[in-house]
Every structure is written in C-alpha cells, then in structure tokens.
Amino acid sequence: MLASDAGVNLSPAALEPARQTLHAVTLDEGVRRDFERGRLSSEHEATGLGGLSLGAAPPVRKGGGKRSSGGKDRERLAARRRAEELEAAEAEAEARELERSHRNAEEKVEAARRSAEEAQRDLKLATAALSEAESAASAARGRVDGCASVVLELPGGRQAPGRRVLSLCP
C-alpha cells in the first residue's frame, strides 16, 4: 500500500532513503540477501555507478514557495514508481525463493526415483533367488517322497541287535 493511499504525504527527502535502499537491493548481493530475509536494519546506498544513481529524486526546494500542481503530480508519480520498484523487488525475491523450492523438490523427486529403481532391481534379484530356492526344495521333496525306508523291529517297538535299517531310494 502506498503512503499516499493511506492519506500520508511523504516528502521526496523522506522517500529518497527508501528509494536508495531499494536500488541497493537490486545491485548488491549482500543487501539483497538481508532484504530477502527481512533483516535490513539500516539505509543503504546503491554503489557501482560512480556516484550516479538511476532516477534520483529532484532536489528539495528551499524557500517555501508554492508548488505548481505539476510538482504534486510528479511527486505522486515518483512515489508510485518507487512503490512499483518495491513491489518488483519483493516479487523478484519471492520468485528466487520459489525457484529454490522448485529445485529442492526436483532433487527429492530424482532421489526417490533412483531409490525406486534400486528397489525394483533388488526385488528382481530376490524373486529370482526365491524361485531358485523353491525349485531346489521341490526337487528335494521329490527325492524324499521317492525313498522308502524299512526298519526291522522286534516286537514291542525295539530294534533287534545286529539288525540294520534298509533304505530304498532311487
């Protein structure tokens, strides 16, 4: 919300530090990081243009003379432009955060895909091992079923001394 929309008229001298700080946000990575984290605690000036700045506010008149309605229009236009710059900087910061979140999500999806592929390979190996074990067990059961054992016993269920157990297996 613009200050003028709230019924507050700020002078260009009061708005200039905010404009300079916003400009510094667009040019200085450290200031941008602080801005994105909501940690700006002081005013900043844009550097790197040799003392020149883009769109500097006109100097404040001294002497208290009346301004023309064109001056008020220029002030409103400049305030609106500064508000739009602030909104653009906020949108850029939000876009960067969304891009980071998107990259993190893509990395998690890729890791999950790799994990699922590895699990599928392990399942194939385990299925093959199970099939092999089932075949071996079936063959062993067949051999056991084909065997017949005869035990010669004495009456009363005791085994006769010197007698042997006969096994008949194919």
Q: Identify the pLDDT of residue 92.
A: 93
DSSP state of 11: P
Q: Identify the pLDDT of residue 152.
A: 47
CB 17 within 8 A of CB 35: no
Q: Identify the pLDDT of residue 26.
A: 83
Q: At what angle are helices 12-27 and 29-36 packed, to 10 degrees?
A: 110
Give residues with Cβ within 8 angstroms of 35, minimum separation 6. 25, 89, 93
Beta bridge partners of 167: 149
Q: Identify the pLDDT of residue 52.
A: 46
Beta bridge partners of 165: 151
Structure tokens at 160: 């006769």
The whole-model pTM stands at: 0.38
Q: Identify the pLDDT of residue 1.
A: 47
Q: Measured between alpha carbons, how far apart are the two ends of the chain, in Å?
A: 96
Amino acid at position 56, single letter:
A
Residue 11 and residue 64: Cα distance in Å, rounded? 13
To which H or E segment does residue 150 belong?
Answer: strand 148-151
* Helix, strand, coil content of the chain in percent (nearest 5): 60, 5, 30
Below-50 pLDDT ranges, the chain: 1, 50-57, 65, 150-152, 154
Q: Dump pLDDT digits (tens) for 28-70.
A: 888 888 888 888 788 878 766 544 444 444 555 555 545 556 6
